[in-house]
Structure 1
């Protein structure tokens, strides 16, 4: 998953009403409907995994979107890499020009009309995730599992999902993934603009030896972003460990850190 500034699927949290209380859809399943979209101009510096002799980074344009409609909760994005077709980009010889993530969830609370909350868990979902590369034979992964919105001290609402992974290329199940994301405004200026701490964790485990050189691995993204009503400027630091089940080696680095810089326009 080549994620950017809003690899924080939680940007949606800025559009949602507070979920400090349990979600109640018994009167109207569309009462929390909303939608949003933004374009992010990004630069990734030493994104992993990467060959040891690769160029330092690449630019890309990301169209990011999300929302809620009745029982459906949605997040997704489409990335287009190396916009200037630069020879000094680490995407110059990449097979994929594009990448798409599509993550719909179905609310069990809204579907059943019942309050399924308990403790810090405010809403439950059937969670799905689709990762598609722009090349036949490239990334083509489907995830399905149980999702939730949970209330966490200080951070507030977080998404928390547990998936099983089905690799469509090999037609086989290949381990599991735990994903969480957050969006926390930390300082608001007098003019109404604010700074947020936003990020996510994706951790895979139980991957099979025939498909992965490491049985577990993952990433953690930490972003600091300044927001206005229409614009956002951000910096992100992403930590990797054997990402995508690729064992870190001298020839192919899959553990370490990368940096992201972003300029966004909100529609």
Structure 2
């Protein structure tokens, strides 16, 4: 899916809500890591109004100057001939490493709601052959404090289309993970999601100059498991104009995502 789930792990959600300080030279004091398996089912995913199952192997963490997030999706697990993914790419990977400029320089670069500043990158790789997704993004990132939501990731990138060997617009991405209701046994409900919005795309590569997605998920979490539902809104997704990208194209609307998670 997505990017993004978005998603931040429980470990990242518990990260301290104050400016990073690496002036003591200890760049590993905020290190953590997490990984999980998400068994997913998508309903009306766009573009193409596809219903399909997939397994998502999701991971993230912090190690010194590096802040890492990524996932690998494997589609049509039973290789069903009736799946909407039959004959399509079997896999998709997103990898989003960021380099902390605070940790790299040993200086506190925070200001206002900005806790930490990064050199941000993002890679989207399809599992098919020539012509499948092969994009690289590079720009600036940050962790900011937002009322009620807490720590939110905010990144601004330029997009380099590696298939066309050309730059093609920009993307603003944000993600969040907000526990909002706790049970006596320590489990909780969270509101988690992300926004990816592209703009400034070129006519020669895109039928729409802008477009994007917003994912809104409500999940129940325990130490080892999670179960959730997400509503994802699409608007001319990937620069494909609704009704124009191809005959009968549907690239604007809503999709539904159901997830069962095991945390490693």
Please tell me whether residue 25 in structure 1 is matched to residue 19 in structure 2: no
Could you list the runs of 5+ residues in structure 2 that have no partner in the other structure?
none
Matched, 1:187 2:181: yes
Question: Secondary structure of the residue that 1:252 maps to in structure 2?
Answer: coil
C-alpha distance in 2, partners of 1:90/1:23?
45
Counterpart for residue 3 of structure 1: 2
How far did 1:13 drift? 5.1
Q: 2:118 aligns with which of 116, 125, 137?
A: 125
In structure 1, what is the Cα distance between the partners aligned to 2:238 and 2:28?
37
CA gap of 1:12–1:170, structure 2 versus 1, over 3 A, is farther
Q: Classify the secondary structure of the residue corresponding to 1:109.
A: helix
Partner residue of 1:172 out of 154, 162, 166 = 166
Does residue 201 of structure 1 match 2:199?
A: no
Q: Secondary structure at the match of 1:10?
A: coil
By how many angstroms is 1:9 displaced?
A: 3.0
Residues paired across the two proteins, number: 259
TM-score normalised by the chain length of structure 1: 0.94
Deviation at 1:15, TM superposition (A): 5.7
Structure 1 spans left out of the alignment, 5+ residues: none
Counterpart of 1:76 (choices 70, 75, 84) is: 70
Structure 2-normalised TM-score?
A: 0.95
Distance 1:3 1:81 in 2: 14
C-alpha separation in 2, matches of 1:232 and 1:132:
27
CA apart distance, 1:16: 4.3
Does the Cα contact within 8 Å between 1:12 and 1:66 map onto a contact in 2?
no
CA shift, 1:12, in A, is: 5.7
Cα distance in 2, alignment partners of residues 258 and 184 from structure 1: 22
